[in-house]
């Protein structure tokens, strides 16, 4: 990531274990940004109750992550090649993200993050449910897209198109 100082930053050792995690450091220890996709167990509620507001007056998720790290319970997964994390924290990055999504959708002909398509491709919903969602949205482009998926007779686990 080109500007990790805008994010939380995670530092790894040579074996890929997390050494540290910092929120918006002036001098990042790595180029690995913490992009804001978190999965916690139920204990996170109790952990969050123990942290104090930052200088910004906010409870920082990085502080929660640090506690999990101290307890050797923090697992970090890298987004691999082909993944794009789109930040929208500035006007410019919002425009960049919108342009990226539009370009991909226009050129490749599929929707990014179409939950019904993902659910059907994973076998979590049936073809009937996909068609039902297409009917509910038939007056807009999204519904037409779902309808086209149903007509293609995608099969679960085929990965869609």
| 91 falls within a domain | no
Looking at 51, 70, 89, the residue that finishes a domain is 70
**Which pLDDT score, from 0 to 100, does residue 63 have?**
93
Locus of tokens 């929208």:
88
**Which pLDDT score, from 0 to 100, does residue 135 have?**
95
* Structural domain harbouring 135: 110-156
| Phi/psi-derived region of residue 121, left when phi > 0, alpha when psi is between -120 and 50, beta in every other case | alpha
| 132 falls within a domain | yes
Give yes or no for a contact between 24 and 4, defined as CB atoms under 8 angstroms apart. no
Q: How many domains does the chain have?
A: 2
pLDDT band of 155, cuts 50, 70, 90: low
Q: Residue 143: in which H helix or E strand, if any? A: helix 141-151
Q: CA of 66: how far to CAs of 19, 42, 74, in Å?
A: 10, 16, 8
pLDDT band of 56, cuts 50, 70, 90: confident
């Amino acid at each position: 990531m080109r500007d990790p100082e805008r994010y939380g930053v995670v530092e790894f050792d040579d074996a890929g274990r997390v050494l540290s995690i910092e929120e918006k450091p002036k001098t990042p220890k790595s180029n690995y940004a913490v992009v804001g996709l978190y999965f916690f167990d139920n204990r996170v509620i109790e952990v969050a109750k123990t942290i104090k507001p930052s200088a910004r007056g906010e409870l920082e998720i990085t502080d929660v992550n640090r506690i999990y790290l101290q307890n050797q319970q923090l697992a970090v997964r890298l987004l691999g090649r082909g993944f794009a994390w789109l930040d929208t924290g500035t006007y410019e990055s919002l425009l960049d993200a919108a342009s990226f999504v539009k370009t991909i959708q226009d050129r490749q002909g599929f929707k990014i993050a179409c939950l019904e398509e993902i659910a059907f491709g994973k076998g979590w919903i049936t073809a009937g449910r996909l068609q039902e969602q297409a009917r509910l949205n038939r007056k807009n482009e999204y519904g037409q897209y779902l309808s086209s998926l149903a007509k293609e007779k995608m099969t679960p686990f085929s990965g869609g198109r």
